[in-house]
Structure 1
Amino acid sequence: MRRLPILALLIACIIAPSASVQAEPGKHWQTAPDQNGWTGDAAKAVTAYAGAYRPTALAVIRDDHIIASAGDLSRRVNVASVRKSLLSALYGIAIAEHRIALGDSLQKLGIDDNLPALTVDEKQADVRDLLMARSGVYHPAAYETADIRNKRPARGAHPHGTFWFYNNWDFNVLGTIYRQASGEDIFSSFEKRIARPIGMEDFSARDGRYVLSPLSRHPAYPFRMSARDLARFGLLFLNRGRWNGRQIVPADWVRQSTAGYSPVPTRKSAYGYLWWSLPSESWGEGAAMAAGYGGQFLAYIPTKRLVMVQTVDPTQNPAGIHMRDFMALMQQIVTAAP
């Protein structure tokens, strides 16, 4: 009779779903052995792509191994709007620790801006609205591109929560709220709470900076990061926020933040909480992407256990790389992967 609990445990281990099996790299990334020849095809595709488009670094990861790469994976570059997905992970931790609440309004948090200041209606937007880029606050912002500036709606054009607009004001204010609520610098917090626990090799808090503008009191917060460190971040999300048995980012936040709430047909994706959610009919369930100006991309595909990263240093490639070209390579590799 005393053997029954042991037998039950063995059976449970045998029938446990394979999706729960996780793999993380050690101190340094390893190269994968050939898997039925498809990795050789992936390496050829990556080499051809790198020759044509000139990324600074490009890597394809399966489980905990690099199966194909090009360029300098250790070179740190400004990953542009990928910063938003990095901040989203910190929000997941802060919300779980009850330091920030999704329903807290700008008014409750004491958020305002330079003249013309926020209206009473604008201050009703909450943290969830900001994460979804639906604040309805169309105040000038730091670190805006000319395209976003030109497309920005007029003040008061849409009530909060009703209209999606890729709005740097929302993203920058999230940085202010995080620093205010946590009492921590964004970059030091990321190093302590995420980079060190998952073994990033190159990132430190010195790789972030704040960018101010006379138009707004809320700075942008660009990160410099290497492709191999960005790949670890992608693998963390592929593994539902766990690393070596430790829950770094709450699993429910990984699911919530990468779900699609606002369809964006021009991107063939939907916007989540500072992430782009990829359509399941093309990429399988749970696939998501972080994207930044000039060709900074991180994507993970759970159904194929794949992570893909690309960085582009504008001093090496001023023209950058368009998302459609990176996604064409993604599609080629995802289709080939068993």
Structure 2
Amino acid sequence: MANLNRKKILAGLMGLVGLYIFNCSPSQRHILSESGYDWPSNERDYWPTQSWKTGTLVDHNIDPSKMDQAHQFAENDPLTRAVLVVKDGYLVYENYFGNGSAGMSSNLWSVTKSFTSAVVGIVYDDNHINSTNQLMSELMPEYPEFGAITLEHVLTHTTGLSWAEEGPLWVEWILSDDWVASALTRDQIHKPGTHWKYSSGNTHFLSAFVTYRSGQTMGQLAKSRLFEPMGFEFELQDPPLQYNSWNQYIEPLYQSWHQDPKGNECASFGLFLTAKDMAKFGYLYLNRGRWENSQLISENWIIDSSGEKETNIYGRYSYGYQWYITLVDSHPAFLASGFGGQIIGVVPSLDLVVVLKYEAEQPEHPITGTVHDDMRLFELIVKSVND
């Protein structure tokens, strides 16, 4: 433990939130109206399973001069690696910066959490559970320590368990043999469902939950039910990585999903994908779970998980099932967000998906763990759309 790089540990744990790190109590400041998002039609003239078709900015109602401002903003940031914009199902902007490339597979960090939510949705759709309000202690009887915590509480970061994305307890967790058991040793400091507290440890409960309820790991389910139907090039790690140093964990290999010491995929971080496959995932959600002629995830799960479960997070966000919800230029959007500025942004009313990738090895900001404003770039892109 002593030889772990403190800077990388701190940068990693701060950035796993992807935005800011502090506690929030539930409030009633809603972003979405009662009708929710203004979803586009999911009747498409093609699907990007094999590859994305390209289109021009003008043909897809994007102001080239405003998009150029976004391009300049991205280019001026030395940490930008990839920016993709999908409008009306067509790839209208694609650019790579620094050592970024179309084939670069890199750690999505906490964007992984939104993929975890999708796999939980498959378990739900397959009737392996009756309700998200079921007790985790009933769903996973080998862990009675869950007590009154439900699946809903885990999905929304409201378990009430103590957690810190930093310091010796984080290191103790990441180096433990059983990440679920280790996270469950934390004190119950709030009644479940009453307090929002970001926790990578709590999200990791979902990986063991998926295996316990379905008999398959998250990686196995994701590969067969999501990644292969959508045309991802994806390999499962075998055997599990050994977490005896932080460097060994963050070293990118190929499109894969890293595992904990028990062979469960890391539910909170550790999924490695290209920017184009990230865009496909956002497009799946934009189309409410439909891909070609198949409903890969139920529309109900997509709408539910991208809806507001907790409000007034970090002052400008709400939270769903491992997704952030916000307003961008008056348009409701939901985001998968990870350390260093990794983003999959979905704006249903504009039929828009935005992918941002950044270099995550960077000096940490004392609050956010980042040295650039990734949300500003996202906003510039959204504002370039003529609505």
Q: TM-score range by the shorter chain?
A: 0.7 to 0.9
Contact 1:105 1:124 in 2 (8 A): yes
Of 22, 40, 60, the match for 1:19:
40
**1:87-236 correspondence runs (5 A):** 87-101=116-130, 102-110=132-140, 118=145, 122-138=146-162, 144-146=165-167, 155-200=187-232, 202-206=233-237, 207-212=256-261, 220-221=266-267, 222-236=270-284
Offset of residue 314 of structure 1: 3.3
Q: Which residue of 1 aligns with 2:70?
A: 45
C-alpha change, 1:231 and 1:148, in structure 2 (3 Å) is farther
Of 228, 243, 246, the match for 2:291:
243
Q: Which residue of 1 aligns with 2:106?
A: 77
Cα distance in 1 between the residues matched to 2:284 and 2:169 = 31
Of 326, 331, 338, the match for 1:284:
331
Contact 2:57 2:93 in 1 (8 A): no
Of 302, 313, 318, the match for 2:348:
302
| Partner amino acid, structure 1, of 2:235 | S
Which string of whole-angstrom CA distances, capped at 9 and with x for unpartnered residues, describes residues 236-292 of structure 1?
A: 10111111132111111111101122124425111111111123x74424x200011
Matched residue of 2:336: which SS?
Answer: strand
Q: Which residue of 2 aligns with 1:312?
A: 358
Offset of residue 183 of structure 1: 0.8
Matched residue of 2:373: which SS?
Answer: helix
Which string of whole-angstrom CA distances, capped at 9 and with x for unpartnered residues, describes residues 119-151 of structure 1?
A: xxx4121111100111123368xxx4449969x
Cα distance in 1 between the residues matched to 2:372 and 2:321 = 22
| Alignment gaps of 5+ in structure 2 | 1-37, 172-182, 238-255
C-alpha change, 1:26 and 1:185, in structure 2 (3 Å) is closer
Q: Which residue of 1 aligns with 2:91?
A: 66
Q: Which residue of 1 aligns with 2:115?
A: 86
Which string of whole-angstrom CA distances, capped at 9 and with x for unpartnered residues, describes residues 207-239 of structure 1?
A: 1111349xxx98734211111100000001011
C-alpha change, 1:37 and 1:169, in structure 2 (3 Å) is closer
Contact 2:109 2:342 in 1 (8 A): yes
Measured on the aligned residues, the alpha-carbon RMSD in Å equals 3.2
| Partner amino acid, structure 2, of 1:209 | H
C-alpha change, 1:103 and 1:95, in structure 2 (3 Å) is same
Contact 1:295 1:311 in 2 (8 A): yes
| Partner amino acid, structure 2, of 1:104 | Q
| Partner amino acid, structure 2, of 1:310 | L
Cα distance in 2 between the residues matched to 1:323 and 1:82 = 18
C-alpha change, 1:182 and 1:290, in structure 2 (3 Å) is same
| Partner amino acid, structure 2, of 1:98 | N
| Partner amino acid, structure 1, of 2:128 | R
| Partner amino acid, structure 2, of 1:252 | N
- Count of residue correspondences: 305
C-alpha change, 1:223 and 1:267, in structure 2 (3 Å) is farther
Contact 2:219 2:265 in 1 (8 A): no
Matched residue of 1:31: which SS?
Answer: coil
Contact 1:203 1:229 in 2 (8 A): no
Cα distance in 1 between the residues matched to 2:344 and 2:169 = 22
Q: Which residue of 1 aligns with 2:82?
A: 57
Contact 2:363 2:370 in 1 (8 A): no
Cα distance in 2 between the residues matched to 1:139 and 1:47 = 39
C-alpha change, 1:197 and 1:293, in structure 2 (3 Å) is same
Matched residue of 1:220: which SS?
Answer: coil
| Partner amino acid, structure 1, of 2:135 | S
| Partner amino acid, structure 2, of 1:327 | M
Q: Which residue of 1 aligns with 2:384?
A: 336
Cα distance in 2 between the residues matched to 1:53 and 1:305 = 29
Q: Percent identity?
A: 23
Contact 1:241 1:247 in 2 (8 A): yes
Which string of whole-angstrom CA distances, capped at 9 and with x for unpartnered residues, describes residues 57-95 of structure 1?
A: 221111222212221132111101111100111111211
Task: Work out which structure has the larger RCO, using CA pairs closer than 8 Å and 6 or more positions apart in sequence.
Answer: 2
List, as ranges, runs of 4+ consecutive aligned residues in structure 1 with deviation greater than 6 Å: none
Of 322, 325, 339, the match for 1:293:
339
